[in-house]
Homo-oligomer: A and B are copies of this chain.
Amino acid sequence: MTRVEMVALGIGVISSALVGSMFLVGSSAPPAVVPTTDLAARPHLDFSGDLRKRCVESYFEQTLNHFEATHETYQQRYFVCEEFWRRADDKGTDGPIFFYVGNEADVELYLNHTGLMWENAHEFGALLVFAEHRYFGKSAPPDAATRLQHLSSEQALADYAVLLDHIKDTRAAAASPVVGFGGSYGGMLATWFRLKYPHVLDGAIAASAPVLSFLGEDPPANLTAFSQIVTYDATHAAGSAPNCAANVRRSWDVIVDAAATADGRAWLQAGLGLCDPFTSRDDAVGVRDWVKGAFDYLAMGNFPYPSSYIMNGASVLPAYPVRAACEPLAPSFASTKEGNFSLLRALGAGIGVYYNSTNDQVCYSRAAPSNASQVDADFWDYLFCSELYQPQDQGLGGDMFWPLAHNQTEDAARCLAKWNVTLRPHWAQTQYGGRKALREVSNLVFSNGNYDPWSGMGVLVDLAPTVVAVEVVGGAHHLDLMFSNPGDSKAVKKARAEEKKHIAKWIHDAAK
């Protein structure tokens, strides 16, 4: 992965993590873990088995371009799960609609992972809807790859508004309140859906949504926040070995120095445990990106219990995987050639938590585990280039990485060459307004875990009376959205309970 690709991926780093799932089409859904062993007594909390089978998969003929009056349509996929829905003729009023605001992956991922929706459905009598984002999963228009101009967050939001009209119309459910849920980019979309369509969405839970990540934010977005929090996860304060971050930081010079000569590159290959020799100095220097990638993903997936989420279901990461990766990096290594070699060996072992999670690699091939489909990553890059430019810096704010600032000119050139689009560095801020817009709206919960690298661009303080921040101490990327787990901390339980209170209030207020 080149630096340019890393930068270009931007929140795509998130997306990759999100795409990581064992629940993709064709695979069966494993049993969800619930916090009680007595499911017979609480059958509404039994979410074992294939959740997709409890929903109806449908396609809606959706307008391709909402902002120009063309006739074209495409088939948008969505799932509706009715089992918990309380209708007015049963008890008082119609139950609400819980609406997952689909992001940049197959919507089955969200259906299978958004425990917060499933686990609260019974109590609220909610209809569950999982809507797929245009151009992802099975919701691509014909010739999608050659007609990317209709891929945009604005079109996606309009899709959701129209789809909800359809769902309500066909069920005579005009009065049902609608609560949005989304994580990561889905959390950004949920936020913007509430901002732009307050008549459609009564409130939203936006988990790990980096809505303050754009240029033009006031005060400015901290572009090194991602790397800083990855670094934080590798410190004693976050439970990792005290020397870890310092050792990682020190390794970059060791790598660059060694890359200068053929002997050095062979030494580097051996130290890190790579299968193949480096082909050039640049190739060897580029191994830094590959190493950083492991820490980035492990930090996002720094959950308190073993989880396969980040690994796309192919393998299981240990609890607190950053701590695990830091274990080999605990010692002090001498500033000698031997010491440096030991450091490289430790680094190689550390990133093995990610790159050898299957425990069957005798050496590293430097191919990252496939936790995002190429087409999803590409389409995310199109969004990055066309409207959601989230530049990132590193090594400039005390983090453990080498200094590298984003280069807008370079990004613009790359986006033009790759997608034939003009980079619009300020559009997202103009369109969605960041903090300033959020101070003007209502009924939004922003949850963020301090182990999640994206939390540094999220809403961490209340911005308005009902636009509130919920902290998940010790939480990584949208942990609160997931199914309950015996390993859940008090913090995440508390966060979910707070979210539930807000949801109840939004539904109550909407009924007025």
Chain A interface (Cβ < 8 Å from any Cβ of B): 63, 65-71, 149-150, 152, 154-155, 158, 161-162, 165, 174, 195-200, 218, 385-387, 419, 421-422, 424, 426-427, 430-431, 433-434, 436-437, 440-442
Contacts and interface: CB of A to CB of B under 8 A. Distances in A.
A221 to B, nearest CB: 15
Given A63-B424, A69-B152, 15 more contacts: A68-B149, A69-B385, A69-B386, A69-B422, A70-B149, A70-B421, A158-B430, A197-B437, A198-B441, A199-B433, A199-B434, A199-B436, A200-B430, A200-B433, A440-B442
Given A199-B436, A199-B440, A430 B67 contact: no
A55 B67 CA distance: 33
A426 B168 CA distance: 14
Copies of this chain, whole number: 2
A107 B439 CA distance: 32
Of A387, A431, A433, the most chain B CB neighbours within 10 A belong to A431
A68 B430 contact: no
B69 A437 contact: no
11 contacts: A66-B154, A66-B431, A67-B155, A68-B150, A68-B152, A69-B387, A70-B149, A165-B426, A198-B441, A199-B436, A199-B440
Nearest to A148: B69
Contacts of A200: 430, 433
Nearest to A383: B69
A388 to B, nearest CB: 11
Given A165-B426, A165-B430, A437 B199 contact: yes
Contacts of A149: 68-70
A433 B197 contact: yes
Nearest to A424: B69
Given A431-B158, A431-B161, A440-B442, A71 B422 contact: yes
The residue among A66, A68, A434, A442 with the most chain B CB atoms within 10 A of its own CB is A68
A122 B170 CA distance: 55
A67 B421 CA distance: 12
A431 B165 CA distance: 11
Contacts of A197: 433, 437
A67 B152 contact: yes
A198 B69 contact: no
A198 B421 CA distance: 28
Nearest to A201: B440
A64 to B, nearest CB: 11
Contacts of A218: 174
A218 to B, nearest CB: 8
A437 B440 CA distance: 14
A203 to B, nearest CB: 10
Contacts of A440: 198-199, 442
A227 to B, nearest CB: 28
Q: Considering residues A67, A174, A422, which has the most beta carbons from chain B within 10 angstroms of its beta carbon? A: A67
A425 to B, nearest CB: 12
A195 to B, nearest CB: 8
Given A165-B426, A440-B442, A442-B440, A433 B67 contact: no
A433 to B, nearest CB: 3
A440 B152 CA distance: 25
Nearest to A153: B67
B161 A430 contact: yes
Contacts of A436: 199
A152 B431 CA distance: 16
Contact of A69 (B65, B421, B433, B434): B421
> Which 10 pairs of residues, A with B, have the shortest CB-CB distance?
A199-B433, A69-B386, A198-B440, A69-B421, A199-B437, A199-B436, A68-B149, A67-B67, A67-B154, A161-B430
A506 B66 CA distance: 33
A421 B69 CA distance: 6
